[in-house]
Amino acid sequence: MTEAILEAPEETGNAESQPHKWVYLFEEGNGENKSLFGGKGAGLCEMTRAGLPVPPGLIVTTEACNAYYDNNKQFPDGMWEQVVEALQEIEKKVGKKFGDSDNPLLVSVRSGAAFSMPGMMDTVLNLGLNEETVQGLAEQTGDLRFALDAYRRFASLFGEIVLDVAHEKFERVMDRFKAQTKGGKDTDLQPKALREIIAAEKQIILADQMAIPDDPYEQLRVAIGAVFNSWMGRRAIDYRRINRIPDDLGTAVNVQAMVFGNMGKDSGTGVAFTRNPSTGKKELYGEYLLNAQGEDVVAGTRTPNPITQLKKELPKVYQEFSEITQLLEKHYRDMQDCEFTIERGKLWMLQTRTGKRTGAASVRIAVDMANEKLIDRQTAVRRVSPEQLDQLLHPTVDPKTTTQALATGLPASPGAAQGKVVFSPDEAEEMAKEGEQVVLVRIETSPDDFHGMVAAQAIVTARGGMTSHAAVVARGMGKTCVSGASALDIDYGQHQFSVNGEVVTKGEWITVDGSTGRVFLGKVPTIQPQLGSDFHELMKWADKFRRLTVRANADTPLDAKTARGFGAEGIGLCRTEHMFFGDQRLAAMREMILADGVGAREKALEKLLPLQRGDFCGIFREMAGHPVTIRLLDPPLHEFLPNVDELLGELSELKMALRQARTLADMDHLLDEIDGKRQLLHHVNKIREANPMLGFRGCRLGLLFPEVTRMQCRAIFEAACQMKGERRQVTLEIMVPLVSLSEELAQQKALIDEVARQVMGEHGMTIEYEVGTMIELPRAALTAHKIAEHAAFFSFGTNDLTQTTFGLSRDDSGRFLPAYVDRKILADDPFQVLDTEGVGELVRLGAERGRSVKPNLKIGICGEHGGDAQSIAFCNEIGLNYVSCSPYRVPVARLAAAHAELEARAKADAEVAGGNGKVLEAVGASQL
């Protein structure tokens, strides 16, 4: 098979005189060109060329979709004729005729973008049926019940998917008729009932002032248009935005001869992965239903059986399917997600594509496949996305919890999350916008729910299997999900669900454990995951490929320990003001900030010194000789001052209390308190700033109040001497914040050196240290060559640099930045993803200018962007030495740094190999 597939792809270009080719038969296409044929189409072409059992079909290309949009939503010239022509080829192959009332050919119509997208149009099955062809189908198969069943499915699918009629309306009809049968299942419906269902379905569509065309060709034309339209539907656009898929890729349309899984007990349909998509275990993992069509499995209307059961029910088919899937995995060198149908004992393959997987599965599969020599280690590292790794670092429910689960469903997507129960996606979105944590609880989800799923912390459904919509979408997003929690009796009208008599109403908290399928009432404690050996193995490989060093932003000994545990190679930013969060410490910090005069300040600083020294010792011990960059105090005042409104409130309460006081002692005490509060208010008002983020912070504080810098440096050097006394190694870097003038740094450095000499003299010791600076203001970046004269290193503070480059406040811009992203004024929130064009240009320029005077200047980044994969790639590209990010993001940064370097090498290799096309391929390959 491999050889057959690996034949050189056929030329897909056209000679100039030939009309443009919009339509390809499966055997004409190839598996390489996902951007033209879509992912599904490419897989079908590949399987067809390899001689696997695939029902014949055609693909309308993504180019046709794009031309449709360029052409005012009209099919491009010649496209429809090519569809009809290709359909004739399919007719010849299967010996049936499309629209023929005696021997009708039926087709399925599916969307198929280059990336599988849950927001896209689903499958329409059995297209080509009408009142006449359904008779033909009954005669052709000798099974009237089957023919009518196919027709009622087609009517509801066409109504729902092509004409956009609400799914529930069709479901209600089905439920009503099923309830009248003995067994209560769809397979118990007899021809009479099926005819009535079809009539009812048509009536529903008519009530919405639409109709299913009688002419099968017209059905096909409308369905292809609907697939194209779904590309620009809200769900698809939302999905692309979240997954960073460009809007101009377009979708292909697959039209394929039907095979039927609902022709009795030796027929069926299912989906299976070549490895377990939740855990990564090497096993055939999936579900199937006998006597069913595709949507029965995914919609969760019947509970499917595990694929292993097929081994007993249809052993030969199972064997063949298992062999084919193994072959496909070997060929694609990746885990495959395969769809199949069995028609009267014959296996048909309907899809193969790279399977979506959880973070844990992704790591395990990558490591296992490299160990099985199916892929090399570079590929293994590139296979795991930073987002997947991030997922792996999600919390789980504390196993020691004694709380009983309210209900248990399927462990559809791992992680533990909690939130207030909501029942509608719109509510989920609204409440999340208000800053609430919500869990979306639905009977089952559909693509219509996507925006609510995005907004929710977790998703719970009462129906649906492991491959249901909710499960697949949640896994893709790395969102906790429990599906098929059938004990939940959900009442949308009453905004509540009940489980065994216990009623849970909208707004109550629940905790969802997507790893075990449990749903708990209330907030149950969660813990961070233990990372397995696969994770460590993969990280080891990634570390070999990266060039950037990864450090952590860690402010306390505990942070430092966590960071080391995640593999941080140093601390790139210790925000010393963060050491004073916490009630007692905050009081000492406030006293220092509010001190009136040097004397009072020095007194307050005396209290801070031992606290800082103790913390520095703890951090040095944890870091065991790895570099530690300690930044001098940079307290934006509003983070540390009492709130004026609160103070006023407290003052008026004290005054009330004074009026009601009965004893002289009480009055005295209250008057003292009032006096104290008044003084505090007076001080706060005196130093309050209109925009504290651009105020008296950073080195400005240390320059005007040198006693602050003195105290900090004393604490640092005393701690370093203590470590030396304990024979511990310390690699010390002292960093000056918010510098915009080289003289600011020069003066602070002189002070640091002076205190260093003093403390070293007192201890009779020498401590090696370096003094460097943050570059976080545009002026600093522009004058970096001057600043570099006094600096041993630069660390780009891209949080402040973004704020000051854009002229946006870090505190308030959340009010309008999301709208900017929504309206595509900005591609991303620049506080999350580095704006390479503007802020990044200042970083590049600052680094270049700094190195123009000191070629070996050590340069890193410590803004939030240091943990963002895209931003890390940019840091790699411009030759920075390190990135620094919060401890939990360190593994992601290590992996992203490896990806960045591997991608840069692939790009360089492709450039050497020549040709722009190759560059695109090399870059694109890692994204597909």
Binding-site ranges for ligand PEP (CB under 6 A): 573, 575, 634, 776, 797-800, 862-863
Distance, in Å, from the CA atom of 147 to the CA atom of 137, rounded to the nearest integer, reads: 6
Stretch that binds Mg ion, among 12-20, 58-66, 280-288, 799-807 (CB under 5 A): 799-807
Q: Tell me which residues in 858-877 interact with Mg ion (CB under 5 A).
A: none
To the nearest whole angstrom, how small is the minimum distance from the Cβ of residue 553 to Mg ion?
Answer: 11
Q: Binding partner of residue 358 among Mg ion, ligand PEP, none, CB under 5 to 8 Å per kind? A: none
CA dihedral (426, 428, 429, 433) positive or negative: positive
φ and ψ of 874, to 5 deg: -65, -45
CB 154, CB 202: distance < 8 Å: no
**E strand segments, 169-233:** none
Select 83 or 862, whichever has its Cβ closest to ligand PEP.
Answer: 862
Q: Tell me which residues in 719-778 interact with Mg ion (CB under 5 A).
A: 776
Q: Among 648, 652, 636, which Cα is nearest to 685's?
A: 648
DSSP output for 345-400:
TEEEEEEEEEPP--HHHHHHHHHHHHHTTSS-HHHHHHHS-HHHHHHHT--EE-TT
Residue entry with tokens 């590309």? 231
Select 63 or 689, whichever has its Cβ closest to ligand PEP.
Answer: 689
Distance, in Å, from the CA atom of 467 to the CA atom of 461, rounded to the nearest integer, reads: 13
- How many residues of this chain bind Mg ion (CB under 5 A)? 3
To the nearest whole angstrom, how small is the minimum distance from the Cβ of residue 800 to ligand PEP?
Answer: 3
φ and ψ of 796, to 5 deg: -75, 120
Distance, in Å, from the CA atom of 413 to the CA atom of 313, rounded to the nearest integer, reads: 29
Half-sphere exposure of 535 (CA within 13 A, CB side): 21
Select 388 or 871, whichever has its Cβ closest to ligand PEP.
Answer: 871
Residue 184, class by beta-carbon neighbours within 10 Å (0-12 exposed, 13-18 middle, 19+ buried)?
exposed
To the nearest whole angstrom, how small is the minimum distance from the Cβ of residue 543 to ligand PEP?
Answer: 24
DSSP output for 733-779:
EEEE-S--SHHHHHHHHHHHHHHHHHHHHHHT----EEEEEEE-SHH
Q: Binding partner of residue 573 among ligand PEP, Mg ion, none, CB under 5 to 8 Å per kind? A: ligand PEP
Q: Does 797 contact Mg ion by CB under 5 A?
A: yes
Select 149 or 864, whichever has its Cβ closest to ligand PEP.
Answer: 864
Q: Binding partner of residue 863 among Mg ion, ligand PEP, none, CB under 5 to 8 Å per kind? A: ligand PEP
Select 343 or 800, whichever has its Cβ closest to Mg ion.
Answer: 800
Select 214 or 812, whichever has its Cβ closest to Mg ion.
Answer: 812
To the nearest whole angstrom, how small is the minimum distance from the Cβ of residue 773 to ligand PEP?
Answer: 12
**E strand segments, 18-150:** 23-25, 57-60, 97-98, 104-105, 107-113, 124-127
**E strand segments, 610-763:** 627-631, 731-736
To the nearest whole angstrom, how small is the minimum distance from the Cβ of residue 734 to Mg ion?
Answer: 16
| Structure-block tokens of residue 251 | 């979708």
Q: Binding partner of residue 287 among Mg ion, ligand PEP, none, CB under 5 to 8 Å per kind? A: none
Residues in the chain: 928
862 catalytic, yes or no?
A: yes
Q: Binding partner of residue 379 among ligand PEP, Mg ion, none, CB under 5 to 8 Å per kind? A: none
DSSP output for 24-37:
EETTTS-SS-HHHH
To the nearest whole angstrom, how small is the minimum distance from the Cβ of residue 793 to ligand PEP?
Answer: 14
Select 41 or 797, whichever has its Cβ closest to Mg ion.
Answer: 797
Distance, in Å, from the CA atom of 839 to the CA atom of 873, rounded to the nearest integer, reads: 15
β-strand 396-397 against 346-354: which pairing, if any? unpaired
The residue whose Cβ lies closest to ligand PEP is 797
Q: Which residue of the set 331, 394, 451, 469 is catalytic?
A: 469
Q: Among 61, 14, 55, which Cα is nearest to 41's?
A: 61
Q: Which residue of the set 338, 713, 862, 885 is catalytic?
A: 862
Q: Binding partner of residue 715 among ligand PEP, Mg ion, none, CB under 5 to 8 Å per kind? A: none
Distance, in Å, from the CA atom of 210 to the CA atom of 221, rounded to the nearest integer, reads: 16
Select 505 or 691, whichever has its Cβ closest to ligand PEP.
Answer: 691
Distance, in Å, from the CA atom of 763 to the CA atom of 8, rounded to the nearest integer, reads: 75
Estimate the share of the chain in helix, then strand, then coil, as percent rounded to the nearest 5.
Answer: 50, 15, 30
Distance, in Å, from the CA atom of 760 to the CA atom of 908, rounded to the nearest integer, reads: 49
469 catalytic, yes or no?
A: yes
Q: Binding partner of residue 575 among ligand PEP, Mg ion, none, CB under 5 to 8 Å per kind? A: ligand PEP
Select 573 or 898, whichever has its Cβ closest to ligand PEP.
Answer: 573
Select 224 or 859, whichever has its Cβ closest to ligand PEP.
Answer: 859
Q: Binding partner of residue 104 among ligand PEP, Mg ion, none, CB under 5 to 8 Å per kind? A: none
Select 406 or 885, whichever has its Cβ closest to ligand PEP.
Answer: 885
To the nearest whole angstrom, how small is the minimum distance from the Cβ of residue 576 to ligand PEP?
Answer: 10
Distance, in Å, from the CA atom of 350 to the CA atom of 44, rounded to the nearest integer, reads: 7
Residue entry with tokens 């979408």? 473
Order of strands across the sheet that contains 23-25: 23-25, 57-60, 251-257, 107-113, 124-127
Distance, in Å, from the CA atom of 48 to the CA atom of 5, rounded to the nearest integer, reads: 9
Select 428 or 735, whichever has its Cβ closest to ligand PEP.
Answer: 735
Q: Binding partner of residue 798 among ligand PEP, Mg ion, none, CB under 5 to 8 Å per kind? A: ligand PEP
Distance of CA 737 to the CA centre of its chain: 33
To the nearest whole angstrom, how small is the minimum distance from the Cβ of residue 714 to ligand PEP?
Answer: 22
Q: Classify 113 as helix, strand or coil.
A: strand
Select 186 or 634, whichever has its Cβ closest to ligand PEP.
Answer: 634
Q: Binding partner of residue 867 among ligand PEP, Mg ion, none, CB under 5 to 8 Å per kind? A: none
Q: Binding partner of residue 830 among Mg ion, ligand PEP, none, CB under 5 to 8 Å per kind? A: none
Q: Among 121, 413, 460, 447, which Cα is nearest to 278's?
A: 413
Q: Binding partner of residue 862 among Mg ion, ligand PEP, none, CB under 5 to 8 Å per kind? A: ligand PEP
Instruction: Kindly list the distances between the CA atom of residue 386 and the CA atoms of 203, 322, 394, 869, in Å, as whole numbers in the listed order.
Output: 50, 31, 13, 7
Q: Binding partner of residue 114 among ligand PEP, Mg ion, none, CB under 5 to 8 Å per kind? A: none
Neighbouring CB atoms inside 10 A of 222's CB total 18
Q: Tell me which residues in 197-226 interact with Mg ion (CB under 5 A).
A: none
Q: Which amino acids are annotated catalytic?
A: 469, 862
Give the interface with Mg ion as residue ranges (CB under 5 A).
776, 797, 800
